């Protein structure tokens, strides 16, 4: 008996972002269009820096043959990154539905508003991916520089994949880390893509003055029990978020959220090192100690936030 072919699925839509975001930017409410072989889409959403992060699980009917979906947004720029494919087949991004890209498969894609980009799979039962919807003008304003909309493309990037995994974990456990952490992740992902292939020679970051660095450090320590935001730290010294991040790292060798990750206490030191841009934990340890005068492990023990559940 021939299995019944599933009916075409209507455009999948997500519910409202988690409570407390305080943002009016939700991205494109349409997740996939022009689908074939897709049976269900589940999603979690978080919003940060006017960037909507969709963490998706897509179920596929392998008996219906190849499956596909239009994954671009009609209204917003969208960056899509496959995190996991379950099954013995292949999954890839395509600029044309029926044409595999040369030198593929590629599992990341970018689509300007209204572009045509496809997700395609054969023999895959389920796909987990991350999609970031953003408005280029808003991101440009946050970065403090004018950005040009890239062309549609499929590509690879180990760093972007790592950032995407961190974003997926944040959507699944929204209160695991601080707002500063998710702010930094979303901005880092957009910056990492938008600046791919650009020359960095003109981007030598100026350092923070000693007085500015002291004010920022004091603010973080004074607000350990609160949700510190990246834009709050940048406002203290009168810089855009992007300018502040570069200046802070030029001054200290560390990303501005390194101490916040240590205070959260959920990540091991090796993963804190990776998230903050270090290839090795030993390098992170040396730089951190040169800035603070103590090792990351000792600093974490001395400044870790108290656990409210243990004070009751």
In a domain, 218, yes or no: yes
- 3-state DSSP of 93-104: EECECCECCCCC
The 10 Å Cβ neighbour count of residue 70 is 19
Tell me the pLDDT tens digit for each residue of 243-252.
Answer: 787 787 777 7
Backbone angles phi, psi at 6, to 5 degrees: -65, 145
39 and 154: one domain? yes
| β-strands 38-48, 108-111 pairing | unpaired
Residues 6+ apart with CB under 8 A from 207: 247, 250, 251
Last residue of a domain, one of 158, 173, 203: 158
pLDDT tens digit at each of 312 positions of the chain: 333 333 333 333 333 344 334 445 667 878 788 899 999 999 888 888 778 899 999 999 988 899 999 999 998 999 999 999 998 889 999 999 999 888 888 999 999 999 999 999 999 999 999 999 988 888 777 767 677 888 999 998 888 888 898 888 888 776 666 677 778 788 788 877 876 644 333 344 577 887 887 787 777 767 756 666 777 888 888 887 777 877 877 777 676 667 666 666 556 777 676 666 665 677 777 777 776 778 878 877 777 655 544 444
Please name every residue paired with 79 in a beta bridge, in sequence order, or none if there are none.
110, 132
Write the DSSP symbol of residue 277: T
Contacts 24+ apart (CB under 8 A), 19-26: 21/46, 21/47, 21/48, 23/47, 23/48, 23/50, 25/50, 25/51, 25/52, 25/135, 25/138, 26/52
In a domain, 189, yes or no: no
**Which pLDDT value is given to residue 11?**
35
**Which residue range(s) make up the domain with 110?**
33-158
61 and 122: one domain? yes
Query: What is the rounded CA–CA span in Å between residue 297 and residue 268?
Result: 10
Query: What is the rounded CA–CA span in Å between residue 10 and residue 309?
Result: 44
145 and 217: one domain? no
In a domain, 8, yes or no: no
Q: Which token pair is 35?
A: 């689908």
**Which pLDDT value is given to residue 288?**
76
The CATH number covering residue 246 comes to 1.10.10
98 and 200: one domain? no
302 and 235: one domain? yes
Nearest to 41 by CA among 64, 68, 11: 11
Write the DSSP symbol of residue 55: E
Planar angle of CA 146, 197, 162, nearest 5 degrees: 95
**Which pLDDT value is given to residue 282?**
78
In a domain, 120, yes or no: yes
Structurally, the chain folds into a number of domains equal to 2
Query: What is the rounded CA–CA span in Å between residue 190 and residue 252?
Result: 23
User: Residue 250, SS3?
Assistant: helix
Q: Are 74 and 113 in contact (CB under 8 A)?
A: yes
- Find the farthest-apart pair of alpha carbons in the chain and give their distance in angstroms, rounded: 76
In a domain, 28, yes or no: no
Using alpha carbons only, how large is the chain's radius of gyration in Å?
21
87 and 149: one domain? yes
The CATH number covering residue 67 comes to 2.60.120.10
Tell me the pLDDT tens digit for each residue of 116-131.
Answer: 999 999 999 999 999 9
225 and 140: one domain? no
In a domain, 179, yes or no: no
153 and 199: one domain? no
152 and 246: one domain? no
**Which pLDDT value is given to residue 56?**
92
210 and 149: one domain? no
254 and 146: one domain? no
In a domain, 215, yes or no: yes
In a domain, 220, yes or no: yes
138 and 248: one domain? no
Nearest to 160 by CA among 87, 91, 110, 96: 110
Query: What is the rounded CA–CA span in Å between residue 127 and residue 60?
Result: 8
* pTM over 0.75, yes/no: no
């Amino acid at each position: 008996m021939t299995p019944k072919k599933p009916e075409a699925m209507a455009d999948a839509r997500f519910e409202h972002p988690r409570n407390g975001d305080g943002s009016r930017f939700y991205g494109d409410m349409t997740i996939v269009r022009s689908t074939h072989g897709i049976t269900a889409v589940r999603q979690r959403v978080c919003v940060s820096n006017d960037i909507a992060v969709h963490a998706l699980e897509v179920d596929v009917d392998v008996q219906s043959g190849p499956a596909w979906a239009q994954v671009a947004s009609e209204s917003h720029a969208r960056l899509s990154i496959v995190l996991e494919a379950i099954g013995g087949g292949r999954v890839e991004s395509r600029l044309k539905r029926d044409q595999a890209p040369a030198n593929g498969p590629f599992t990341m894609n970018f689509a300007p508003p209204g572009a045509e980009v496809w997700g395609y799979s054969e023999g895959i039962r389920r796909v987990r991916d991350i999609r970031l919807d953003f408005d280029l003008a808003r991101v440009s304003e946050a970065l403090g520089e004018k950005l040009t909309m890239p062309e549609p493309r499929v590509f690879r990037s180990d760093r972007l994949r790592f950032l995407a995994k961190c974003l997926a974990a944040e959507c699944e456990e929204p209160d695991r880390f601080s707002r500063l952490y998710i702010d930094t992740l979303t901005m880092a992902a957009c910056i990492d893509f938008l600046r791919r292939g650009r020359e960095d020679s003109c981007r030598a970051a100026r350092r923070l003055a000693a007085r500015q660095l002291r004010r920022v450090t004091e603010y973080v320590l004074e607000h350990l029990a609160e949700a510190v935001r990246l834009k709050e730290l940048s406002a203290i010294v009168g810089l855009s978020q992007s300018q502040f991040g570069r200046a802070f790292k030029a001054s200290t060798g560390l990303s501005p959220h390194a101490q916040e990750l240590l205070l959260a206490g959920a990540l091991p030191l090796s993963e804190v090192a990776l998230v903050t841009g270090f290839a090795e934990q030993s390098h992170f340890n040396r730089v951190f100690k040169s800035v603070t005068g103590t090792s990351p492990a000792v600093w974490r023990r001395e400044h870790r936030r108290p656990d409210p559940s243990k004070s009751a």
